[in-house]
Structure 1
Amino acid sequence: MTRNRLLTAAAALLVSMLVIVPPASPASAHTELSRTSPAARSTVGKAVAAVTLTFSGLIKKSGTSVVVTGPDNVSYSDAEAQVLDKTITQKVKPLPVGAITVAWRTVSTDGHTIKGTFTFKNRFAAPTPTAEPTPAAEPTPTADPTTPSAASPAAAGDTDDDGGSPTLWWAVILGAVLAVAVLVGLLLRRRRPTDT
């Protein structure tokens, strides 16, 4: 009989403990940073266009900020951080070579503020922008050497070097020939014997 009472008391004690101390539910856990890209304490050898932070739970855009600084203590964050569900994406300008520090802050859906920092090493040197070549000036148009000008002899008139035209010379020669022919005709007429 005593044994049964002990077993009953032990069972009652176990049930009471389960009721008083319920198991922790996932909803009661705080949101935490799960992973980052680039990974914390990693070394990257290619260009980084953005830093991504992924959390274990949903986060709010309000109150979220990400500051990415280089070894020169200059901020390389480009525009505001973008929040989507559990992920924060922060675009960055070309990063310098050396240790890069990421300081972040956000708010979980239960209103709890969480923040932290991590670092990674950048070995990729962004190429220095070169000045674009200046277009060559177009040459100033010059007068066409083959085009006769107003002062050229060809524009003044089609005359020969001796000042006369070929048509005029042919008229003079033809006139001289006709004059000789008339003169010869007159001479022959005077020499013809008269009929008796």
Structure 2
Amino acid sequence: MIVALVAAVLAVPQAAWAHSQLLSTTPTAGATVTAPISEVTLTFNEPVHQKFSVVVVNGPGGASYSAGHVQVIDSVVHQPVHPLRSGSYTVAWRVVSADGHPVEGRFGFTVALPASLEPSAGPAAGSPAASPSHPAIAAGTRTGARWPWLLGGGVLAIGAVVVAGVAKAKRP
């Protein structure tokens, strides 16, 4: 009886704590891109919030190649980019899950364009590379997503009181 009660109490908050998971990216992590692209996309297993979503694309020359704002459509995050030159790129991202928790990560890819497709223009001069501590990404941590922890803690506390009461009632 007590085991069933504890299992029931613990099962409720676990469903609320499921975070969004990154399913795929375009370009694919570790891929070599041989044609021009105009955006980087991240696809998640569930919709993510537009607010606080940030994607920073850093590339050759120590510059940020992100262009414009992130656009979230359901579970797909779109980050436009300046024309990418041949070289290595790192994508740092942070989104807010449907449950209110920030989720973040990074991946890299390489661009290897034929000389005829190499862009003549890139990001504006003086566009410094951004890092995960960049203010735009740091803003993504301000989600106010403490409610799942408070809810889970409250449910656990109530469960502990119920279990203690049942255990005390069974004593002779």
With the shorter chain as reference, the TM-score category is: 0.5 to 0.7
Letter in 2 for 1:115: E
SS at match of 2:63: coil
Deviation string 1:12-41 (CA, Å, 9 cap, x unpaired) is xxx543332145765431112111111111
| Greater RCO structure (CA 8 Å; 6+ sep) | 2
CA distance in 2, matches of 1:39, 1:128: 21
- Say whether 1:34 aligns with 2:23: yes
- Say whether 1:17 aligns with 2:6: no
Q: TM-score with structure 2 length normalisation? A: 0.60
Q: 1:101 to 1:128 in 2, by over 3 A?
A: closer
**Deviation at residue 46 of structure 1 after TM alignment:** 1.2
CA distance in 2, matches of 1:111, 1:28: 9
Higher Rg: 1
SS at match of 1:89: strand
Letter in 1 for 2:55: V
- Say whether 1:94 aligns with 2:83: yes
Contact 2:23 2:43 in 1 (8 A): yes
Corresponding residue number in structure 1 for 2:92: 103
Corresponding residue number in structure 2 for 1:80: 69
Q: Report 1:115-154 matches (<5 A).
A: 115-125=104-114, 126-129=117-120
Corresponding residue number in structure 2 for 1:165: none
Large movers: runs of 4+ above 6 Å: none
Letter in 2 for 1:91: P
Which structure 1 residue ranges, 5 or more long, are not aligned? Answer: 1-14, 130-196
Corresponding residue number in structure 2 for 1:56: 45
Q: TM-score with structure 1 length normalisation? A: 0.53
**Deviation at residue 57 of structure 1 after TM alignment:** 2.1
Q: Report 1:157-168 matches (<5 A).
A: none
CA distance in 1, matches of 2:119, 2:18: 47
Q: Which protein has the bigger strand share?
A: 2
**Deviation at residue 109 of structure 1 after TM alignment:** 2.2
SS at match of 1:69: strand
Which structure 2 residue ranges, 5 or more long, are not aligned? Answer: 121-172
Corresponding residue number in structure 2 for 1:4: none
SS at match of 1:72: helix
SS at match of 1:95: coil
CA distance in 2, matches of 1:58, 1:109: 6
Q: 1:34 to 1:44 in 2, by over 3 A?
A: same
